[in-house]
Chains A and B, each alone.
Chain A
Amino acid sequence: DAGITQSPRYKITETGRQVTLMCHQTWSHSYMFWYRQDLGHGLRLIYYSAAADITDKGEVPDGYVVSRSKTENFPLTLESATRSQTSVYFCASSESSSGADNSPLHFGNGTRLTVT
Chain B
Amino acid sequence: GDSVTQMEGPVTLSEEACLTINCTYTATGYPSLFWYVQYPGEGLQLLLKATKADDKGSNKGFEATYRKETTSFHLEKGSVQVSDSAVYFCALLSGGYQKVTFGTGTKLQVIP
B52 to chain A, nearest CB (A): 12
Partner pick for B46 among A45, A58, A105, CB 8 A cutoff = A105
**Docked-complex contact A48 and B97, CB < 8 angstroms:** yes
Q: Which residues of A are found within 8 Å of B100, using beta-carbon distances? A: 45, 99, 105
Q: Which residues of B are found within 8 Å of A107, using beta-carbon distances? A: 43-45
Question: Interface digits, B40-57 against A, CB 8 Å rule (1 contact, 0 not)?
Answer: 011111100101000000
For A, the interface residue count at a CB cutoff of 8 angstroms equals 25
Partner pick for B43 among A45, A104, A110, CB 8 A cutoff = A110
Question: Interface digits, B11-43 against A, CB 8 Å rule (1 contact, 0 not)?
Answer: 000000000000000000000100010000111
Greatest chain A CB density within 10 A among B36, B89, B93, B104 is at B104
B102 to chain A, nearest CB (A): 4
Task: Spell out A's residues near B (CB within 8 Å).
Answer: 4, 31, 33, 40-45, 48, 56, 58, 90, 92, 94, 97-99, 101, 104-105, 107-110
